[in-house]
Amino acid sequence: MSITARSRKRLWARSGNRCAMCRRELVREGTPPDGDSIVGDECHIVSATRGGPRYDPEFPREKADDNSNLVLLCKVDHKVVDDQESKYTANLLRDLKAAHERRIAVQLEGFDSDKQPVRIRQVAENVPNFLRRIRSGKELLAIMSNACAYALDYDELRNEEEVDLVSGFLQDAQDWGELGLDEVGSRMRAAQSLDEHINGLEQSGFWVFGCRENQLIEGGDGPASGWPVAHLRVMRDSNPEIIKMNENGAGPSKKDAPQGDAPDGASRRM
Ligand SMILES: [Zn+2]
Q: State the Cα–Cα distance between residues 112 and 122, nearest whole angstrom.
A: 23
**Ligand 1 centre distance from Cα of residue 90 (Å):** 17
Task: Using pLDDT thresholds of 50, 70 and 90, give the confidence band for residue 6.
Answer: confident
Ligand 1 centroid distance, CA of 20 (Å): 7
Q: Give the separation between CA 157 and CA 110, rounded to whole angstroms.
A: 37
Q: Quickly list H helices, 204-263.
A: none
Helices 137-144 and 184-203 cross at an angle (nearest 10°) of 110
Q: Examine the pLDDT at 71 and tell me if it is beyond 60.
A: yes
201 pLDDT more than 60: yes
For residue 7, give every residue at least 6 positions away whose Cβ sits within 8 Å of its Cβ, in sequence order, or none: 65, 66, 67, 70
Res 256 pLDDT > 80: no
Q: pLDDT tens-digit profile of 122-172?
A: 898 998 888 999 999 999 999 998 888 889 999 999 999 999 999 999 989
Distance from residue 69's CA to the centre of ligand 1 (Å)? 18
Contacts of 125 (CB under 8 A, 6+ apart): none
Q: How far is the CA of 249 from the centre of ligand 1 (A)?
A: 42
C-alpha dihedral (119, 120, 125, 131), degrees to nearest 10? -160
Q: Are 265 and 245 in contact (CB under 8 A)?
A: yes
Which candidate, 181, 189, 18, 187, places its Cα nearest to that of 91?
A: 181
CA dihedral for 58, 64, 66, 72, sign (positive or negative): positive
The pLDDT score that the predictor gives to residue 1 is 59
Most confident of 105-114, 228-237, 258-267: 228-237
80 Cα–ligand 1 center, Å: 9
Q: How far apart are CA 72 and CA 19, in angstroms?
A: 6
- Of residues 263 and 208, the one with the higher pLDDT is 208
Cα–ligand 1 centroid distance for 168 (angstroms): 18
Domain boundaries, the chain: 5-109, 117-268
Average pLDDT of the chain is: 83
pLDDT of res. 144: 92
Q: How far apart are CA 16 and CA 52, in angstroms?
A: 27
Burial of 105 (0-12, 13-18, 19+ CB in 10 A): middle
DSSP string, 117-128: EEEEE--GGG--
Provide the pLDDT for residue 143. 94
pLDDT band for position 249 (cuts 50, 70, 90): very low
- From the CA of 209, how far away is ligand 1's center (Å)? 29
- pLDDT value at position 258? 38
Question: Quick one: pLDDT at residue 261?
Answer: 41
